[in-house]
Amino acid sequence: MMGLAALFASRFEKSAQLVKERLRAYMAEPDNEEKVHDVRTSLRRLDASFLLMPKKFRKRNRRQIDAHKQFFRANSRVRDYDIMRGRMAARAQGELLSQLADALDKKRKAGVARALGMARLLFALPAASLEGLGDEELESTMDEVAGRLVGKIKKRFPVVAANRGAVEELHELRKDLKKLRYVFEVMPAGLKKPYEKKASKILNRKKKPVMQQLKELQDALGAMHDIDITLQYLAALGKKTAVSLIESEKAERDELFSKFAQSFRA
């Protein structure tokens, strides 16, 4: 029977290879939504494995870890521009839409160029090394990481659920939920079970599978976050002609928050 470290290393190697394959596809078609989605999903899974590495292995593979994060951030910024443009196109029209779209398109073009540069650097890096990884140290790190993420969610969830203006806390909670979901995918059933129970208790959704709970909350927060970044962008422009657009975004955000608070307090 394969030990914990050997199983982790095998799955890590497959995840890293999948990232390579999807990076290649992304670099060929950086504007293809499916390719962008695929590479982001594979990166999140690999990031969960990086997160679960014992400290000395994260230090050994720091170059690879940093390169993955830099590309993901650059790619995320492009995604933000696409989200904002889509939301504005659904509400604005005429000259206002033209002005907003032109400004975002320029930012997006520069963002894609930056992301592509990061992708090429990442693709050229050698594979991360897990030589010498042991079962006990890996299990200890998995316990520590899962416990830390559950603790962060426990602290942030009531703040976000009670305060519609907690924009930064919402964003951080959303990131913690994503990390925990992908960490659970990597962890063996026996190790993650106590943390799944704790997460279900925090979210007060015990009748649903924990992965479904995390995904539903992540999606609810994600919808509000998309509006938040759009509002921040519009506010920074300072255009008086965008006031009605801002008010419409705020109204939808309030409606989404009310549904979220009612659902996750039930």
DSSP string, 20-74: HHHHHHHHH-TT-HHHHHHHHHHHHHHHHHHHHS-HHHHHHTHHHHHHHHHHHHH
Distance of alpha carbon 105 from alpha carbon 148, whole angstroms? 39
Q: pLDDT digits over 121-147, tens only? A: 999 999 999 999 999 999 999 999 999
Q: Which CATH number fits domain 4-124: 1.10.10, 1.20.120, 1.10.760, 1.10.287?
A: 1.20.120
The label of the residue with tokens 């990131």 reads 175
Q: pLDDT digits over 31-80, tens only? A: 998 999 999 999 999 999 999 999 999 999 999 999 999 999 999 999 99
Q: pLDDT digits over 188-233, tens only? A: 999 999 999 999 999 876 678 999 999 999 999 999 999 999 999 9
pTM of the shown model: 0.92
Report whether pLDDT(91) > 90: no
At residue 100, the pLDDT reads: 86
At residue 93, the pLDDT reads: 81
Residue ranges per structural domain of the chain: 4-124, 135-265
At residue 1, the pLDDT reads: 60
